[in-house]
Amino acid sequence: MRYFIEPVVLTINYALNLGYKSIYMIGKSGGGWTTTLAAAIDPRIELSFPIAGSIPLNFHHKSWDFEQEPRPGDIHWYLSQCNYTCLYALAVMEPNRYSLQVLHERDPCCYYGQGRHEGIQTYDREVSNSLVPSNERFSTAITNWSIHAICNMDRLVIETAINETRKTSTPTFTTLPCDILYSPTLPCPWLPN
């Protein structure tokens, strides 16, 4: 675990020593998994955006990368103590910390949304309900994308979420353009990649 987390912590330390005031983290795939884990461990990460980086193990995903693969005695021992839903909650435990997980509808590699919307909305609610007081600082957005790469729809969702956190003290991330999970009727401007 140190292999993934230590560089993040050292980078945050360096940025804060340079005078940066806000720490946001974004990562895709293994970087998305690292974003989930780092945000759960380090409360200095105010906004986290894991893209196609994890989904709870009960979704029985078709392929796992090394860092996500369930193996006895490995990182997943920790996940048996604090599963992904727990990690998502830890990432937003303190006030003014937010996490928006971004998944792709038909991602051929990792953590697709197609056919899983209801289950994803269920764990979104579980995370929100596990916090005291209950809040909506964690959410999942699904973009209508079929490639395991960051797309312009992802960028628009993330940019809108960042602007939302700057405008209001209680963003909900349920009305994001290009999010087919919670905002399927909102327009998604054509965005060339």
Mean pLDDT across the stretch 174-178?
Answer: 92
Q: Which residues sit opposite 32 in a β-bridge?
A: none
Domain presence at residue 104? yes
Domain presence at residue 183? no
Domain presence at residue 67? yes
For residue range 131-175, list pLDDT tens digits in order: 877 777 899 999 999 999 999 999 999 999 999 999 987 888 989
Q: What is the total count of domains within the chain? A: 1
Nearest to 154 by CA among 99, 103, 98: 103
- Can you give the pTM of this predicted structure? 0.91
Nearest to 41 by CA among 8, 17, 13, 81: 8
For residue range 34-91, list pLDDT tens digits in order: 999 999 999 999 999 999 999 887 886 666 666 566 555 555 555 566 788 889 999 9
Domain presence at residue 142? yes
Domain presence at residue 152? yes
Three-state DSSP at 139 gives: strand
DSSP alpha helix (H) spans, 18-151: 30-41, 75-81, 84-90, 117-130
| Model pLDDT, residue 65 | 64
For residue range 104-127, list pLDDT tens digits in order: 999 998 889 999 999 999 999 999
Domain presence at residue 143? yes
Does the CA dihedral 53-59-65-69 come out positive or negative? positive
CATH code at position 105: 3.40.50.1820
Domain presence at residue 156? yes
Per the structure, the complete domain to which residue 136 belongs is given by 2-167
| Average pLDDT, rounded, for the chain | 88
**Residue 9: pLDDT band by 50, 70, 90 thresholds?**
very high
Domain presence at residue 86? yes
Three-state DSSP at 81 gives: helix
